[in-house]
Amino acid sequence: MSDLIEHGKLFIGGELVDPAGAETIDVVSPHTEQVIGRVPHASRADVDRAVAVAREAFDEGPWPRMPLDERIAVVTRIKDAILARHEEIAKLISSQNGSPYSWSVLAQALGAMMVWDSAITVARDFVFEERRAGALGPLLVRREPVGVVAAVVPWNVPQFVAAAKLGPALLSGCSVVLKPSPETPLDSYLLAEIATGAGLPQGVLSILPADREVSEYLVGHPGVDKVSFTGSVAAGRRVMEVASRNLTRVTLELGGKSAAVILPDADLEAAVAGIVPNAWMNNGQACVAQTRILAPRSHYDEIADRLAAAASALVVGDPLDPATEVGPLVAERQRQRSLDYIAIGRQEGAKVLTGGGRPAGRDQGWYVEPTLFGEVANSMRIAREEIFGPVICLLPYEDEAEAVRIANDSDYGLSGTVWTADVEHGIGIARQVRTGTYSVNTFSLDMLGPFGGYKNSGLGREFGPEGFSEYLEHKMIHLPADWEG
């Protein structure tokens, strides 16, 4: 993608319009370090306009008043268009954020399509209104759309996370102002084009690329009824603080420091093959990545050797090369962050088993070698803090009780896995680990079940009927005691 991609307008309420200001965002390739795109930087005035049209669309427009089947038809066309253009979407996202193209096809593009499809499945079966027996008479319980939604998405999986918010928000009847990250705004223009082509009514969707200052203005806007945010813990705390001024409802999907527990009876070949791609997924830039690997002391050396060999064999290179398994980090600051944590790990006494710096011969691009630290104590910063890069910790444990204790000894609780010859026993481990999602002898993120975190990993859920409910208000209507309907 050598040609500069330039967009001079903002997508507000279904139309491409001139921005209120003249400021722009340069999109820089993490592989070449060259500018590959340029878009307008939305201002507070643009936020005001987007919220106003979203407010009108919700309060007076047809979208929330349409029969569900009609909303499903529009969203199905969005889903189908993403499937038809998935290769284009994958290449664009890889160019912006460095995701390996093979991973972008599956997770960034087809994964986003699956999120939209799952939201449709949930909507079809969702009970929006039900009769219920009350203590004083019959009740009618309704679930109604929450209103105008501010959806703030990160740079690591922009279309996947956008779909996680837009799918249930739109299907429930909400209008949305989507705020993509300044690192990855280009794919949002494809989404705008797709939404328009699908017949989404005027005002229902706006897309405003912007920095944190404008994001904060959007989150604190009095015309917004609900904020759905995905990002760091620090940013999530700020979102919650700002939204609380208006008592705006929030869903926060934040960070992780997830533990993969290898039990002594595990098939080590299968465990390593299952863990490695999900530890270094998306160049380590995934909140659900298995960044703490817990190995029994009795098998520690063998596991360390297997993991180090597998990590050192990962192909590092151009994100658009189909053979690449680990690409560059999204920005120079992220590369430096990983290098800083590698230095911290060494200072703390952990041992670099493989990697530990910039790849040889890659002076251009924001690359860091896939790095595995051994002999890590859970008290070390590299084991406690989310690095969000290709830096993984291998921790020893003496017995199963200690493994569970280490897995739970974290400020986070987003994901996790256990690897064992006994699936029933693995389920028992899963029940003890305080985390929002867990997998036994696999790693998956099923969009028909609830996704979210315990502790600092967030508030609320995405996916499944639980995530769908986040975009609805519950209303109770009392009926006369003798009314039979």
Helix (H, G, I), strand (E, B) or coil at 381: helix
Per-residue pLDDT at 2: 55
Task: Please name which of 238, 396, 218, 433 lies closest in space to residue 307, comparing C-alpha atoms.
Answer: 396
The CA-atom distances, in angstroms, between 358 and each of 278, 334, 349, 363, 394 are: 21, 13, 20, 8, 20
In tens, the pLDDT along 158-177 reads: 999 999 999 999 999 999 99
Q: Where are the alpha helices (DSSP H) in 183-299?
A: 186-197, 212-219, 233-244, 268-279
Per-residue pLDDT at 275: 98
Set 183, 216, 287, 462: catalytic member: 287
User: Which backbone phi and psi does 393 adopt, to 5 degrees?
Assistant: -110, 135
The rounded average pLDDT for each run of 10 residues, N- to C-terminus, in the chain (485 residues) is 87 98 98 98 98 98 98 98 98 98 97 98 97 94 98 98 98 98 98 98 98 97 98 97 98 98 98 98 98 98 98 98 98 98 98 97 96 98 98 98 98 98 98 98 96 98 98 97 82
Extract the tokens encoding 293: 């690997």
Q: Among this protein's residues, is 174 annotated catalytic?
A: no
Tell me the DSSP string of 420-477. -S-HHHHHHHHHHS--S--EESS----TTS-B--EETTEES-BSHHHHHHTTEEEEEE
Sign of torsion, CA 238 241 246 248? Answer: positive
Asked whether the whole model's pTM tops 0.95, one would answer: yes
Taking the C-alpha atoms of residue 116 and residue 168, their distance in angstroms, rounded to an integer, is: 8
Per-residue pLDDT at 485: 73
Structural domains of the chain in order of their starting residue, each with its CATH number: 5-254+457-476 (3.40.605.10), 259-447 (3.40.309.10)
Set 253, 325, 462, 470: catalytic member: 253
In tens, the pLDDT along 440-482 reads: 999 999 999 999 999 999 999 999 999 999 999 999 999 998 8
Taking the C-alpha atoms of residue 75 and residue 302, their distance in angstroms, rounded to an integer, is: 49
Torsion of CA 241, 244, 246, 248, to 10 degrees: 110
Q: Among this protein's residues, is 393 annotated catalytic?
A: no
